[in-house]
Amino acid sequence: MARNKFDIDENLESPFDIRHFRRALVYIKRQKKPMIIALVLSAFSAGIGLSAPLILQHVVDVTIPAKETAALIGWSGLMLATIVVSVILATIRSRIMTRVGQDIIFEIRTDLFKHLQELPFQYYDDRPQGKILIRVVNYVNSVSDVLSNGIINFILEILNLLFIAIFMFAVNVQLSLVILAGLPVFIAIMMLIKTRQRRAWQAVSNKSSNLNAYTQESISGIRVTQIFTREKVNESTFTRLSTNYRKEWMRTMYLNFLVPFSVDNLATIVGTCIFLVGLLTLEPGAATFGVILAMSGYAARFWQPILNLSNIYNSFINGVAYLERIFETLDEPVTVSDVPKARELPPIQGNVTFDDVTFAYDPGHNILEHLNFNVKAGESIALVGPTGAGKTTIVNLISRFYNITGGKLLIDGHDIAEVKLKSLRSQMGIMLQDSFIFSGTILDNIRYGRLDATEEEIIAAAKTVCADDFIREFENGYKTEVNERGSKLSQGQKQLISFARTLLANPRILILDEATSSIDAQTERLLQKGLNELLKGRTSFIIAHRLSTIKNCDRIMYVSDRGIAESGSHDELMAKRGRYYKLYTAQKMEA
């Protein structure tokens, strides 16, 4: 996926590549049986429908002149029966293909979502969420019909053309050639507009993606928007993006309408020519009025498959462009994954060792260089230092959210690059500054990391972190429904719920990244007892802005200059009167 912002188009100008369609056949083959049934039903429906002009010819040329009233009623009944049977078969086929299309959507979307769950943090660091979302929803919807109905309809329309041609030439050769005479004109028109159509649809996709990305970003940041009264500016940006989308859509529709416009006019001209040729140029008796009527009916039927095939072709070309983007996402490498022969990490004590660790988000720009330190099981480590020095990077590496560039990171002597991710992360608890709350009940949010926890265990965890009191104040208590991102909760309440969620998971290594930043001082004092229980017997890494909260940590590390500039207890570092001393005294003076 192109790394861009909401106002930069994704490049969809890739050439047609049949490999993407071949790859999509995997999903199609799974639906082979119902698709064959639908194709057979469609063929029967088309064949029955094509008999109608022949019945009309016989009635006009034979039955009516002979004044055979009983026969006329019989032929009328037969005509009605062909219509009813054709409609029934088409309805059954439509229901089958609707299910097939939805099954294909389900399978592609499931594969996409599963892959997105496994992609590393770095994949999401540089991509607008809206442009990821549109691939899972819109693009999959766009290709499903091409992969299901598109293939069936393509085969069906080819069969239709073949059947119609056979019926036409069986009725009258000369008038059949008149019908075919309009085909070269239509092909010429399609050749002129096909490239412009494809580019136009790609432009629509680009503008739709941009609009989707900005809308998602705006909704997520609505509080910031209203705080800074940016509504008018954002509205202007949205209007510009929406106008661009509307402009491309209208241009695309203009090109699309050229196809049915051309077909309708060609069909009208051909239909007129049939009557002119049949009545004025052919020898008397060469074409009866019934024959001319039948050929007129076949002419109308002949151009409909042509129109359908042109639409299928356009959808197919556009669908392949969408498939490319879908498969591009599916092919995005899962760089942080279990290596071959990865082993289970056994229950850990919590010893952590950084052995000559180097790390860079972007090649050539190291955040950490040759980092070495050892943490004993049960130690509490505080990480302090300037913004961007690498404090959060260190704790992210312990959880292996990123692969280190060089060196080794060991837990209880096990290289974390060689153990299974699930066995590693299941023994860790991570609390972030931005505590994410999922839509659902408070009970479900606390249980999120341990689905087998009982309600009693959940309540006990909430009491430990001082969340029980405010939860019970809600009308439905722990069964209270919260919105996406916990919009009905204060930031402090969300963090306390996240604390309970982390405690319930009973991790051996605990990471607190500015986890108490949104909790007021009074609540923090109440929580401190719970935190002491939470930290007891666990290796912990704490990143905190308020240095007073980490004074009692076993060791404080000052992160700077791509490594650990200072390390020691609070008293030891204060005695050194170095960087930590300056930071602590400056913060104390500000207070």
Q: Is residue 274 part of a domain?
A: yes
Q: Is residue 447 part of a domain?
A: no
DSSP per-residue letters across 526-557? HHHHHHHHHHTTSEEEEE-SSGGGGTTSSEEE
Q: Is residue 590 part of a domain?
A: no
* pLDDT, tens only, 529-545: 657 767 778 899 998 77
The residues, any chain, with a CB within 8 Å of residue 141's CB and separated by 6 or more, are 105
Q: How far apart are CA 146 and CA 142, in angstroms?
A: 7
- 266 lies in which domain range? 18-330
* pLDDT, tens only, 316-342: 766 766 777 788 888 888 888 888 888
* pLDDT, tens only, 49-106: 777 777 877 787 788 888 888 888 888 888 888 888 888 888 888 888 888 888 888 8
pTM, to two decimals: 0.65
CA nearest neighbour of 119 among 327, 322, 329: 329
* Tally of structural domains, the chain: 1
* pLDDT, tens only, 265-299: 787 788 778 777 776 665 665 667 777 777 777 77
Q: Is residue 443 part of a domain?
A: no
CA nearest neighbour of 39 among 167, 151, 166, 146: 151
Task: Name the pLDDT band for 12 (thresholds 50, 70, 90).
Answer: very low
Q: How far apart are CA 569 and CA 567, in angstroms?
A: 7
Give residue 8's pLDDT: 62
**Comparing 124-133, 135-144, 209-218, which segment has the lowest mean pLDDT?**
124-133
Q: Is residue 232 part of a domain?
A: yes
Q: Is residue 448 part of a domain?
A: no
- Compute how many other C-beta atoms are within 10 angstroms of the C-beta atom of residue 363: 7
H, E, C per residue of 139-194: HHHHHHHHHHHHHHHHHHHHHHHHHHHHHHHHHCHHHHHHHHCCHHHHHHHHHHHH
Q: Is residue 194 part of a domain?
A: yes
Q: What is the CATH number of the domain that holds 290?
A: 1.20.1560.10
Q: Is residue 154 part of a domain?
A: yes
* Segment (H or E) for 415: strand 414-415
What is the average pLDDT across 291-317? 76
More confident position, 114 or 164: 114
* pLDDT, tens only, 226-240: 776 788 888 888 898
